[in-house]
A and B are shown apart, each in its own frame.
Chain A
Amino acid sequence: MMSEIIKVEHLKKYFPVQKSFLEQLFTRKMSHVKAVDDITFSIKKGEIFTLAGESGCGKTTTGRLVVRLLKPTSGEICFNGADITKLKGEKLRLLRRKMQIIFQDPYASLNPRMSLGDAVGHPLEIHGLAKGEEKKKIVLDVFDKVGLTPPEQFINLYPHQLSGGQRQRAALARSIILKPELIVADEPVSMIDVSLRTTIIDLMLNFRKELRLTYLFITHDLAVAKYMSDRIAIMYLGKIIEMGSKQRLFLNPMHPYTQALLSAIPVPNPERERKVIELMGEVPSAINVPSGCRFHPRCPYKKDECTEKEPQLIEVEKEHFVACRLY
């Protein structure tokens, strides 16, 4: 049995909403954006676990919480069995060696004034692992691994001299240089052209085996999610509404939202008949979350009870969880 590398329980992140001076005078109550609202999941060692959903569903916030770039409002995050929710200072820094993050925008995530070699080697210095010639050797080796070849040439280049795909390779190099156990990849390929995307995906898949990595993959693109992941969790307005192995989830989507989401994905086949499930309205604001099931204002199967009681995630078949009263 595989052990759990990440375990998240009842995780919440509320961001306070800034009020105007007058509002502050007259109301006591703070309002919050409930970006992540009580989610529980775990990731097994060596697995690719995907958080998918539309913009504003809380997937990126969850990723940042897991690597502790954000402080949770409440809940617990365990890494290899140890609670890391409240780690600070030196201990947190040591933890970061084991978990790394890749951001969506390779144009913003590399310092334009640092050469690629410096940027990618920087983590080694921060963590006091290597300097000088030794550092250079490790950097060259990592560049070779991510396909920035010849590495001797690439380490002296600056980000503006690279294409988007090459930058994302450099970001990937930086994330693996400390030999982490977990990588949170936040939309790593969504800003990259299709013809270059596959190489990045394949690199990530190879590293999983070669470097025994575990990924928390965050994406809005379910087609990419299906290609890459082992298990997928679908988020809606800060909640996980369905979670399961990729096979079960795509073969038998159960939540009405998942069904609509899957039906809306374009398929590169003009001869297939399109059957899009229509949803009413649009995603409501995360400040005033609907009562009961937060999907009920848009749900075609809405019943009275949905407006009152919030459905919990229940296991409806092996390894397949849904939060909906239909099941």
Chain B
Amino acid sequence: MPLLEIDSLTVDYRTSRGTIHAVEDVSFSLKKGETLGLAGESGSGKSTLGLSIIRLVPYPGFIAKGRIKIGGKDILKLPEHEMRSIRGRKIAYIFQDPMTSLNPVKRIGEHFVELIRTHEPNTSKEEAFERAKDMLNNLGILPERINDYPHQFSGGMRQRIMIGLAIALNPDLVIADEPTTALDVIVQAKILDLLESLRKIYGMALILISHDLSIILERCDKIIVMYAGHMVEYASNTELHRTPKHPYTQGLLQSIPNIELADQKLSAIPGSPPNMLNPPKGCRFWPRCSYTKKICQVKEPPLIDVGHNHFVRCFLYSEEGVHDE
């Protein structure tokens, strides 16, 4: 049984100017220990998708349709107090900004003690404290610093502490939402290495959310490319790199500079992402696509299986699309 199953999930934001389908009809599953990357640009719905897995989509957003199952249990049907015991214990979330996710008036040790004792009330304070020290050691932070406050740490160290807090209860799944976007490249590489090694030690699954397709290609086994709320492509990292199918993915890969290539020619995707209040009819990418056919402008393409566990939401790969002129 997969660890996480998402079935035709739709998340809406109800605004005064209309309803936005921030995530629409997304389905995928994740096995134990797997790493999945959610790639997409701002407004593509990747963070909303991540937050919906722990049922923390901010107001005015809400889960409109679909099912989210964790270990076979539909979490959308759980009462809030049961959901709280899943957050942190089964699924942990790492946010982008480590400064605002730590309490500035609490020592680092207290963060750990509070977390551990909330979920395991039988653990003594001393015991929780010891566990916190071990964790700091794993994170590459001197255990003596357990009584320091968040502001005494650098950005990279704070993000390490966030990772430590996320895995302190040994969850089955960690969702990391742009965990290194605020950090410099050298620190970024260190943090991602740390996340990878801890993930292997503790046997967790990871969902990495990032706008940076390079990072996702490097670090994740499976990749979902999101565009305007739709999952437009799903494939393994090597498949996606060798044979990207969706015109958007192809365009994205052609617009990423690669320092290993000499005289690279980048090409741009024309136009800009749609206004989500009024998305184009049919395929949401058609106004920017160079392969647009008539059918793309009227009908939403289904997710098509192209083999090798590779799925793409594009008429170029369907019977219907081939015969359309």
Contacts and interface: CB of A to CB of B under 8 A. Distances in A.
Interface of A: 54-55, 163-166, 193-199, 201-202, 220-224, 226-227, 250, 260-272, 274, 276, 278-279, 282-283
Contacts of B189: 263-264, 266, 276
Given A195-B41, A220-B185, A282-B154, A226 B259 contact: yes
A269 B186 CA distance: 18
B259 A264 contact: no
B253 interface: yes
A201 B256 CA distance: 12
Interface string B256-274: 1111100010111110110
Contacts of A271: 238, 241
B255 interface: yes
B227 to A, nearest CB: 9
B26 interface: no
Given A193-B273, A195-B269, A272 B260 contact: yes
B260 A267 contact: yes
Interface stretch (B14-22, B77-85, B206-214, B290-298): B206-214
A195 B186 contact: no
Given A269-B241, A278-B190, 12 more contacts: A55-B184, A193-B42, A195-B41, A195-B255, A220-B185, A223-B258, A223-B259, A265-B185, A265-B259, A267-B260, A270-B238, A271-B238
A266 B266 contact: no
B255 A198 contact: yes
A227 B185 contact: no
A88 B37 CA distance: 53
B51 interface: no
Contacts of B6: none
Nearest to A198: B268
B255 A54 contact: no
Given A163-B272, A195-B255, A227 B41 contact: no
21 contacts: A54-B184, A163-B272, A193-B273, A195-B255, A195-B268, A199-B268, A250-B259, A261-B186, A264-B185, A265-B185, A266-B188, A266-B214, A267-B214, A267-B258, A267-B259, A268-B217, A269-B241, A269-B258, A270-B218, A271-B238, A278-B190
Contacts of A164: 42
Contacts of B248: 195
A260 B241 CA distance: 25
Contact of A193 (B190, B211, B215): B211
A193 B248 CA distance: 13
Nearest to A251: B262
Interface of B: 41-42, 154, 156-157, 184-190, 193, 211-215, 217-218, 237-238, 241, 248, 251-253, 255-260, 264, 266-270, 272-273
A226 B257 contact: yes
Given A195-B269, A197-B255, A202-B268, A268 B186 contact: no
Contacts of B211: 193-194
Given A260-B186, A264-B186, A276 B193 contact: yes
Nearest to B268: A198
A264 B41 CA distance: 22
Pairs of residues from A and B, 10 with the lowest C-beta to C-beta distance, nearest first? A198-B268, A266-B214, A193-B41, A223-B257, A54-B184, A264-B189, A270-B237, A195-B269, A268-B214, A199-B268
Contact of A270 (B154, B188, B217, B273): B217
Contacts of A194: 41, 211, 213, 252, 255-256
A267 B237 CA distance: 13
Most chain A CB neighbours (cut-off 10 Å) among B184, B215, B237 = B184
A131 B210 CA distance: 46
Nearest to B253: A268
A299 B184 CA distance: 18
A198 B266 contact: yes
A88 B217 CA distance: 52
A270 B240 CA distance: 9
A224 B214 CA distance: 13
Contacts of B269: 195-196, 198
Nearest to A191: B42
A123 B45 CA distance: 39
Contacts of B256: 194, 223, 268
B218 A274 contact: yes
A164 B273 CA distance: 11
B268 A264 contact: no
A282 to B, nearest CB: 5
A172 to B, nearest CB: 15
A265 B187 CA distance: 11
A198 B214 contact: no
A120 to B, nearest CB: 19
Contacts of A250: 259
A270 B238 CA distance: 6
Contacts of B237: 270
B179 to A, nearest CB: 13
B61 to A, nearest CB: 21
A205 to B, nearest CB: 10
Nearest to A197: B255
Contacts of B255: 194-195, 197-198
Contacts of B41: 193-195
Most buried by B among A196, A224, A271: A196
Nearest to A278: B190
A262 B258 CA distance: 11
B238 A262 contact: no
A198 B259 contact: no
B224 to A, nearest CB: 15
Q: Which of B189, B248, B252, B270 has the most CB of A within 10 A?
A: B189
B106 to A, nearest CB: 23
